[in-house]
Amino acid sequence: MRKILSLTLAVLMVVTAFAFVGCGAKPAMLGLGVASTVTPTDATVEKAGKVATAVTVAAVLLDADGKILACDIDTLEASLGMTAEGTTVLPATYESKRDKGDAYGMQAYGGKTEWYIQVDNLEAVLVGKTKDEAKALLLDTGYGNDAVVSAGCTIDIADMIEAVLEACANAKEVGSMEGDALSVSIVCDNSSSTKDATPERAGVLQAEFTFAALTVKDGKVTGVVTDAMNAKSTFDTAGKVVDASEPKTKGELKEGYGMAAYAQTTEYYLQAAEFDKQCIGKTSQEISAMKDGTDALVAAGCTIAVSPLVEAVVKAIAAAK
């Protein structure tokens, strides 16, 4: 009788195990996309000029059929200024529109709902869509079609859709699973390359952006993709903009970024990918402890400064939904 009971229990355990595996989460593809718009304004005697770089980031989680399971979007505008005497005027801190929340103040200027709420509504419309179906949501005017507007998103979505489409195109398997919480983050700081203009050389305005798209389960990172971008412009001693080209991310530039030739090491995007791998399975606290030049990172082939990457990943973990 005991043997029969034991055999029955064993069979039940095997059946249960197979059932659990069959109902388990499936691998999903994680993608990060970035879109930017640069708006330069020359300085006058009465008013400082500026170069405003608005950067929109999107993270998507795709199933095996390329349909969006989850989406997260944010925007940050870095506005660096210069006077008519050729000196720089820099912000002390930067906040994204999601960071600002209600303080962004869209409703005060006639908006029906705040920016982050409208973007949440757009994200809800994107769920279940393929890349082509997401593209079809955008009208030539830059606004969304009837489905987007009726969902409660009446703002310009051109850069958002561009970022989402890029994220879909870049999506890959990095350990994320269906059902994992998704998040994207964007952090920004002034670059040490920023300089006043002199008669001998042009002035430089440079903002350094860092991005992270990741998934989280039970407080641990299951998949992550990071990237960074230098938004650089130049101006003369009269505060006139000389060059304000649209920037590309280091991941987009790949070998064109030129770090390998300059520093005699591997390119930035390859080192960032090694950093990403080191984040898998770690909590926010464990990632916060990752420092430049640690043995584990160096051994993995990551010798770049990781502080901005750590900041972006930790911020994304805190916002995962």
Show the tokens assigned to 111: 């908006």
Q: What is the pTM assigned to this prediction?
A: 0.90
Q: Is residue 101 part of a domain?
A: yes
* pLDDT band for position 13 (cuts 50, 70, 90): very low
Q: Is residue 79 part of a domain?
A: yes
Q: Is residue 259 part of a domain?
A: yes
pLDDT at 262: 84
Q: What is the mean pLDDT of the chain?
A: 92
Q: Is residue 8 part of a domain?
A: no
Q: Between 2 and 163, where is the model more confident? A: 163
pLDDT at 23: 55
Q: Is residue 157 part of a domain?
A: yes
Q: Is residue 10 part of a domain?
A: no
What is the residue-wise DSSP string for 236-299?
-TTS-EEE-PPP-BHHHHGGGG-HHHHHTS--HHHHHHHHHHHHTT--HHHHHT--TT-HHHHH
* pLDDT band for position 263 (cuts 50, 70, 90): confident
226 vs 249: CA distance, rounded Å: 10
* pLDDT band for position 18 (cuts 50, 70, 90): very low
Query: CA nearest 187: which of 270, 306, 294?
Result: 306
Percent over 90 (pLDDT), the chain: 87
Q: Is residue 19 part of a domain?
A: no
| Alpha helices, DSSP H, located in the chain | 2-22, 97-100, 115-126, 131-135, 146-150, 158-170, 250-253, 259-263, 268-279, 284-288, 295-300, 307-319
Q: Is residue 177 part of a domain?
A: yes
Q: pLDDT tens-digit profile of 44-102?
A: 999 999 999 999 999 999 999 999 999 999 999 999 999 999 999 999 999 999 999 99
Host domain of residue 85: 26-319
| Rounded mean pLDDT, 278-306 | 94
pLDDT at 107: 80
Tally of structural domains, the chain: 1
102 vs 100: CA distance, rounded Å: 6
Q: pLDDT tens-digit profile of 119-144?
A: 999 999 999 999 999 999 999 999 99
Q: CB of 246 within 8 A of CB of 37?
A: yes
* pLDDT band for position 261 (cuts 50, 70, 90): confident
